[in-house]
Structure 1
Amino acid sequence: MEIGLVIIFFIVGLIMTVKGGDIFVDAAIWIAEKTGISSGIIAATIVSMATTLPEFFVSTVASREGFSEMAVGNAIGSYICNIAFIIGICSLIRPINIKDKFFGIKGVMMIGYLCVFFLFSKDGFINFNEGYIMVLLIIFFIFINILEHRKNSPCRSKNKRKTINKKELVKNGIKFMVGIVLIVYGAHILVDSGVEIANILRIPKQVVSLTLLAVGTSIPEFITSLMATFKRQQSISLGNILGANILNISVIIGVSSLVSDKGLIVTGHTLFTDIPMAMLVALLFVGVGLLREKIGRITGLILLGTYVVYLFMLF
């Protein structure tokens, strides 16, 4: 297949995946608002879950088809991209003030889950039992968000419940399902075309997953965080990135290891390059956020510069 046609397929898959995520986010937010869930919980859980659906399906499809390096590369690449690129860009546009008292807990959790992944993958393999443990780690994250919601707005959910119109219910139900279908099929096209691009250009599949796939599937997080920054809703931006990264490591890596016939293979490149880079940007992001209670433009520039250096390292 010619490279031009493969790239067209890749773009089509990317559009389907991103648009599916966008439609799904709209439906998920509508459901959340109608049930009275606070915006903080929406950002950290429902929105982050929705925006990581592209990564989830791309990684699980890749893993099931036997491309472990693409599954891991997409998850870790998105983790790095979410912090270094997305937070970097957003903080350059407008410094991000951190008012969330639970930022430290979620930030430490994000770093801690990365450490768990590293410990499990030191032997170059994530087996089924380790995959189950990683998936179960999400329970603690959900518990923390429920605790935060109850502490900050104990009566808010009751006061914000709205009457559900049947027409709106059908409309958003359809959007919910269409979004999932677009994401699933878009993910298949992305993986297949990504593998083909790697073969044609003789580029390692892991490099393709760490760049094209990771950046492509992170677009929902980027758009969500960018719009939140423009609207001065910085807690949504932070919650989305923290939640997405925690999901990348726990659910996406965990499920990817479970759907594979032989577990998940972790390469030396991931162990000695990708994970250290993910740890570096995560420590910078969380450390500066806790010490200064904001992510300023200088920090954003450092994060963005680190990401550029990382991309050069890959090639």
Structure 2
Amino acid sequence: MRDTLLFVGALIPLTVGADWLVRGAAALAQRFGVSPLVVGLTVVAFGTSAPELFVSGRAALAGEAAFAVANVMGSTAANVGLIVGIGALIRPIAVHHRVIARETPLVIVVLSLVMALSLNDVLGRLDGFVLLAGWALYLYFLLRWVRSGAGEEESRTSEPRPTDKDSGKGVNFWWSFLQIAIGMTMLAFGAEWLVEGAVGIARILELPDALVAASMAAVGTSLPELASTMVAAYRRMEDIAIGNVIGSNVFNLGLVLGTSALLRPLVLDPSIVVVYVLPALAFSVILIPLALHRGTVQRWEGGLLLALYLAYIAALFAFAPPA
């Protein structure tokens, strides 16, 4: 009963926290003249990736390597299949060509790197350092991209907002910052409660740890991204919607997985790569042609992504070995 209450009750801080985070991030983007796309790729992506960082880090320290890796890979697949799918069903998501040409291939490269580094059945501290260094380089080049003004040229929304005319005049900096801080705090607590409840329920059902991590825990820790993307899509903030998803995947693979491996080497069974890393790679690849088609992820394409993700989860449970 307690686990069910935790699971259901966590939806409130997750939803409210996501709304506050998106509102605060969008306001700061206007205040400082930074594009909402870049805010989605950085501030919002980091805030919504915090649950994955906490969960996978704790699992690594506890020696649960399969749980740590499966949670990251399950979240990566959920970000594309579940979140982009539902977001596009709410409202077709406009996608900048350069975002797909730059960020999505980066996710594919990092996933391929993870597969290469895990060929010896372990992600060691050196491997973790490589992943973290790659993530740091991503942030460096992203900041250079912003300084060059390219980010501003690419940032656009479906309809103009009144504050765009005065470049953020009248936006209260401290209130926006407080919104982001409160939103991130609510997201962290909400995700923790949801994951704790989900894992408790799964333990009762005697499911394998890796399966729990890639399905229930991954969806639980991805709910901040889902809530943020749904709010952004509904408010016609497509830049934040798609930037949040892609940025979260880069953060998950670089920051979260890299930090987990640095905390404690992750000894992996070869099946982990096949069952969890390859599907994450497949979802990242399939997003490219869908997004490039007319520069928009249409509703039917969102439905396709969601159907593929649900089929993937069903297959996991159907062929899962006993706990």
Instruction: Tell me if both proteins adopt one fold, taking TM over 0.5 as the criterion.
Output: yes
Q: Corresponding residue for 1:121?
A: 118
**Structure 2 gap ranges (5+):** 156-165, 318-323
Task: Give the aligned residue type for 2:59.
Answer: A
Is residue 20–residue 181 contact of structure 1 (8 Å, CA) maintained in 2? Answer: yes
Q: How many residues align?
A: 305
Q: Corresponding residue for 1:75?
A: 72
Is residue 18–residue 217 contact of structure 1 (8 Å, CA) maintained in 2? Answer: no
**Residue 242 of structure 1: how far off its partner (Å):** 0.7
**Residue 146 of structure 1: how far off its partner (Å):** 2.5
CA distance in 2, matches of 1:203, 1:308: 18
Q: Corresponding residue for 1:220?
A: 224
**Residue 114 of structure 1: how far off its partner (Å):** 0.9
Q: Corresponding residue for 2:94?
A: 97
Q: Corresponding residue for 1:151?
A: 150
> Structure 1, residues 156-182: CA drift from partner, whole Å, max 9, x if none?
9xx8465886xx63x666666555655
**What TM-score, normalized by structure 2, do the two folds share?**
0.81
Task: Give the aligned residue type for 1:93.
Answer: I
Note closer, same or farther for the CA distance 1:223–1:193 as it changes in structure 2 (3 Å cut): closer
Q: Corresponding residue for 2:45?
A: 48
Note closer, same or farther for the CA distance 1:233–1:19 as it changes in structure 2 (3 Å cut): closer
Note closer, same or farther for the CA distance 1:7–1:172 as it changes in structure 2 (3 Å cut): same
Note closer, same or farther for the CA distance 1:152–1:30 as it changes in structure 2 (3 Å cut): closer
1:61 and 2:61 aligned: no
Paired residues for 1:180-195 under 5 Å: 182=186, 189-190=193-194, 192-195=196-199
% identical equivalent positions: 27
**What TM-score, normalized by structure 1, do the two folds share?**
0.83
1:287 and 2:289 aligned: yes
CA distance in 1, matches of 2:69, 2:12: 22
Task: Tell me which of 271, 274, 289 is aligned to 2:273.
Answer: 271
> Structure 1, residues 68-92: CA drift from partner, whole Å, max 9, x if none?
2222222111110110111112223
Paired residues for 1:223-242 under 5 Å: 223-242=227-246
CA distance in 2, matches of 1:160, 1:173: 17
**Residue 212 of structure 1: how far off its partner (Å):** 1.5
> Structure 1, residues 161-216: CA drift from partner, whole Å, max 9, x if none?
65886xx63x6666665556555555655555444333321111111111221112
Is residue 87–residue 300 contact of structure 1 (8 Å, CA) maintained in 2? Answer: yes
Task: Give the aligned residue type for 2:310.
Answer: V
1:204 and 2:208 aligned: yes
Task: Give the aligned residue type for 1:222.
Answer: L
